[in-house]
Amino acid sequence: MIAELKKQPRNASPKILGAARAIALREGAGKITIDAVARESGLSKGGVLYNFPTKKALLAGLLDEMLAEHRERLASVPEGHSSRTLRGHLETVLQAGSTDDDLSMAILAVSASDPNLLDPLRRELSRDVERIRSDAQDDTAAMVLLLAIQGLRFQRLLRLADGDADQQDAVIDRLKDMIDELE
């Protein structure tokens, strides 16, 4: 096994996380296993385990990657908007694909047995809430909008009834208008 580890790149995390996402996209997040990720990535099982010793660690890595993507979306909102963080949250929901939803559900399922897995998400959201509240002239209205955006995210994750596409578009347009009204 030592020889196997030496053959692996020193940090194959991006390749491994890409393989896990590919599996989630093709087969669903429930099919992500260490063995499946090793096959998909072309690495040995030992190479995957070197980077992510457990499936929980792999899912934590995927959560970290998803949070980094969220931060990138926040950063992509143009400067000068007092509701920049709130806009970024809406963009994160709107740009999330079915793979992100499947991965989110897998992370939530694992967090049922280990709630600490969600600590990075909790810390990130706490920082975002503070920014949203401090940037808004009406922090209560800003929080109502954030909670509505989070509700939209969970509605999509759980595949709950959401009306037709026209209604969804109208809701999203109204959320955007309400964010504009905060400025």
DSSP designation for 51: H
In angstroms, the CA 47 to CA 5 distance is 6
Average pLDDT for 112-120: 89
Percent of the chain's residues with pLDDT above 70: 94
pLDDT for res 1: 41
8 Å CB contact between 121 and 132: no
Whole-number average pLDDT of the chain: 87
Long-range contacts of the stretch 30-36 (C-beta < 8 A, 24+): 30/106, 32/58, 32/59, 32/106, 34/58
Task: Grade residue 10 by pLDDT with cuts at 50, 70 and 90.
Answer: low
In terms of average pLDDT, the best of 70-74, 108-112, 121-125, 153-157 is 121-125
Average pLDDT for 79-105: 84
Question: What is the four-CA torsion angle of 173, 175, 176, 181, rounded to 10 degrees?
Answer: 130
Average pLDDT for 3-20: 69
pLDDT for res 3: 43
In angstroms, the CA 151 to CA 160 distance is 11
Task: Grade residue 43 by pLDDT with cuts at 50, 70 and 90.
Answer: very high
- Determine the distance from the C-alpha atom of residue 181 to the mean position of all C-alpha atoms in its chain, rounded to a whole number: 27
Average pLDDT for 49-65: 91
Burial (CB < 10 A; 0-12, 13-18, 19+), residue 35, is exposed
State pTM to two decimals. Answer: 0.81
Write the pLDDT tens digit of every residue in 70-86. Answer: 898 888 888 877 788 99
Task: Grade residue 141 by pLDDT with cuts at 50, 70 and 90.
Answer: very high
8 Å CB contact between 57 and 131: no
8 Å CB contact between 63 and 32: no
